Chain A
Amino acid sequence: MRKPQRLGFIYLSLFVALLLTVMPMPQIVKLARPDWALLVLMYWTLALPQRVSVITAFFTGFIVDVLVGTVLGVNALAFSVVIFVVAQHHLKIRNFAVVQQALLLGLLLALYQLMLFWLSHFLTGVYFRPQYLWPVLTGMLVWPWLFWLLRRYRRQLKIQ
């Protein structure tokens, strides 16, 4: 087992993703804002599953809950479950081409949105509108670029 190296940079990238999550934007852009934190977590889980997995996802989700103002624990749970699936199948998912990965992760993003909706529906009684699924599409479109960028980031800084 290799020694962990420069783990701080992983948390730095997660921090940037969290910033992007709360950055003020025009209304139309905001509705379609990709779930940055989840996408970045997905990348790290695929690349370094021994460093980043469910527990990191739980804490990131908790921070998202605090920032976003949803009922505490909702995002934490949804993040943990989605990242659990990614971590379980990271060897398979890694072998896919990036576009196929995007499609597959799109399913998981949809799962995330639906879990978020179900939990919020139980807890606060929200109504479903199809617009809530926009982030799934934008997340899928963003994935190839994010994958490329984060791989360069990881290799350049030799994060293990």
Chain B
Amino acid sequence: MNQIYSRGPSLPLRLFLAVVCSAGLMFLDRYTDSSTQLRSYLTAAASPLFYVASLPQALFSGASEQFMSQQTVLDENARLKETLLQQSGQLQLLRFLQQENEKLRALLGSSAAIEDKSLVAEVLAVYSHPFSHQVVLNKGSNDGVTEFQPVIDDQGVVGQVVSVGPSSSRALLISDNTHALAVRAERTGVRAIVEGLGQWDLLRVMHLPHSTDIREGDRLLTSGLDGRFPEGYPVAKVVRISQDASQPFMVVYAEPYARLDRIRHVLLLSGRSEAMAEAAEILPPEQP
């Protein structure tokens, strides 16, 4: 028994070393700011592993596309053309509305809505650990991704970028336990904060007094007041309200629009964060 460990420190000593090191790491990561930089380096170093790990899936989906029958492809093509037509029709109207909106804003003397640029990224890995809802994206600082950039998909808000490597980045999802964002109910304009619970299909709406006008089915949109997310993107739909007078606030749950557990392609919004922060300061408080 002894001669097995004749080289190097004894087993308990090694454990002690490991415990001290991990405690130091935890402290460093949780309670100091230097970890963001460290995380970026580590994300960069680990990104090849994510590429390799997602290879089988990429191969599989590539193969299934190869063997799709021609009819299926034609059907899909027809369907996509139809959606494209519909959407470009709506887009024409949108352009007109945008112009009109700008004119009205100019008349009111408020700051103009900011143009948004966006970047499409593919999800390399969705890590499903219940304690950390994050995705790894295949775009990094080389493609112009920056920290705290909002991430959306075709349905709604997905999350925000938390660490950036040269060719990949990591986004925190809105369902993560440590994530919260400012929202506004579409119907009434009530402002609230939506927090993740560590569950894919449920978020909690925080700190709403019992008298608040909110109903099941209300759409919650980003309010832009947090300075991170631009205004007006759909976040979640209220699904459950329980009014318990013994609780200081209403307990309201909402279901995210974005299907967080099966995202493949996302959109990174950019070029707004500074302007957003300014707007958040200038804008007068909304009427609740």
Contact of A80 among B22, B123, B132 (CB under 8 A): B22
Contact B21 A76, beta carbon cutoff 8 Å: yes
Separation in Å of the A117 CB from the closest CB of chain B?
8
Judge if B178 is at the interface, Cβ distance under 8 Å. Answer: yes
A58 to B21, CA, bound (A): 9
A19-59 interface (Cβ within 8 A of B): 19, 22-24, 27, 30-31, 33, 49-50, 53-55, 57-58
A44-95 interface (Cβ within 8 A of B): 49-50, 53-55, 57-58, 61-63, 65-74, 76-77, 80-81, 84, 87-88, 91
Contact of A126 among B18, B25, B198 (CB under 8 A): B198
Number of interface residues of A (CB under 8 A): 50
A67 to B51, CA, bound (A): 12
Q: With A72-B29, A73-B26, A125-B177 as given contacts, are A50 and B15 in contact (CB-CB < 8 Å)? A: no
By beta carbon, the residue of chain B nearest A67 is: B46
Size band of the interface chain B makes with A:
35 or more
By beta carbon, the residue of chain A nearest B14 is: A54
Judge if A13 is at the interface, Cβ distance under 8 Å. Answer: no
Which residues of A have CB within 8 Å of B43?
66
Q: Given contact pairs A55-B14, A71-B30, A77-B22, enumerate 9 new A-B contacts (beta carbons under 8 Å).
A: A23-B53, A23-B125, A54-B18, A58-B18, A61-B22, A68-B132, A73-B22, A124-B131, A124-B177
Residues of A within 8 A of B (CB): 1, 18-19, 22-24, 27, 30-31, 33, 49-50, 53-55, 57-58, 61-63, 65-74, 76-77, 80-81, 84, 87-88, 91, 116-117, 119-120, 123-127, 129, 131-132
